[in-house]
Structure 1
Amino acid sequence: MERGYVQVYTGNGKGKTTAAFGLAIRAVGDGMKVYIVQFLKTSPTGEVEAIKKLADNIKVFRFEKKRGFFWTLNDEEKTELKKEVQKAYEFVQQVIENEKCDILILDEIMGAITNKLLTETQVLELIEKKPLTMELVLTGRNVPEAIAKKADLITEMKDIKHYMNEGVTARKGVEY
């Protein structure tokens, strides 16, 4: 890739991770190597299972052990989670420094910032250190203004109508 950009998929609507994984599949179809680091996601998902079956050039990394949602964790579990997220961050630094892939997707990294598991400054450092030829994709709600300013593309998934509001729970193969 001649020039890589910083993309952000954000908003309250459904589809941020799915869009990022779709980009990964497209890139692999054109011979690129993709790394996906997921934050705050530990349960099996259809996207991850499909990637395992379809693509040798996409690698998905998770550093956290399985727990409930962040807001259900006690202080000890949150401290443990923060250590795991920091390990993921160190891994991402190495991926960037060693230019290990063409596209690096940091799925739900905004959630890691919101929950104070990473700092906005840490993510800005990743953007600054990104090699010119690497595409960096960041997903999650509530993009800090400083990160938005550094992004080259921001797509907002807007929740206009959602069946969850009618009591429909997350469905395997559709929401996860």
Structure 2
Amino acid sequence: MAAKQLSQGLVHIYTGDGKGKTTAALGQALRTVGCGYRVFMVQFLKGGDSGELHSAEKLKPDFQIFRFDTAKKFFWTLNDEEKKEVKRNIDKAFAFVEEVIQKESCDLLILDEIMGVLSNKLLTVQQVCNLIEGKPKHMELILTGRNVPQEIVELADYVSEMKMIKHPFQKGIGAREGIEH
């Protein structure tokens, strides 16, 4: 853990159908690391290469990204066996998150795409609520993803919604290296 602690840790949610949820979390991570604090990001339902992985490597040990998933497809496109494997990986990731909280291993903990985990019923809303309620008072927590349950909204201090007004995907432009991944 960093030599200093945040005086008060709050809970952020970045949600909505627009681009920028993970990007906003990464921006906060950069600010936090820049002020001398340690940041852990656990990415759920993400298995492909992405620019933030390479950036985080340059900021170790102050900023680390952890992934437990290897799937490179959307959850709804997986077969039953692949879904079972994702579930096993989600359980490992969640156990890791619980350990990070218990050991107070970082100052800012980001649970990237945790709402997708809930939407796909890979964890329960109650499990995530318990995690939020049990975090140390000086640990900041960010949760990202679409369709945030109301129970989680009620526990948050910040809730920011990214609203899609226009997106290149609507014109058939796919994810681009360095921008969307």
Report the TM-score, using the length of structure 1 for normalisation: 0.97
Count residues with an aligned counterpart.
176
Percent identity over the alignment? 55
Deviation at 1:56, TM superposition (A): 2.9
**Further displaced range: 95-104 or 55-64:** 55-64
TM-score normalised to the size of structure 2? 0.95
- The equivalent residue for 1:165 is 170
Q: Could you tell me whether the CA contact under 8 Å between 1:4 and 1:136 is conserved in 2? A: yes
Structure 1 counterpart of 2:69, one-letter code: E
CA distance in 2, matches of 1:110, 1:75: 21
Tell me if the contact between 1:18 and 1:47 (Cα under 8 Å) persists in the aligned partners: no
**1-side partners of 2:29 and 2:97: how far apart?**
17
Moved more, 76-85 or 62-71: 62-71
- The separation in 2 between residues aligned to 1:52 and 1:22, in whole angstroms, is 16
Matches within 5 A, 1:18-33: 18-33=23-38
Distance, in Å, in 2 between the alignment partners of 1:51 and 1:95 is: 18
Q: Match of 2:40, SS?
A: strand
- How far apart, in 2, do the equivalents of 1:44 and 1:75 lie? 24
Whether 1:80 aligns to 2:85 is yes
Runs of 4+, deviation exceeding 6 Å: none
Structure 2 residues not aligned, in runs of 5+: 1-5
Per the alignment, residue 156 of structure 2 pairs with 151
Residue in structure 2 matched with residue 139 of structure 1 by the alignment: 144
* Structure-1 separation of matches of 2:134 and 2:17: 29
Q: Secondary structure at the match of 1:136?
A: strand
Letter of the 1:145 partner, please give it.
Q
1:46 aligns with 2:89: no
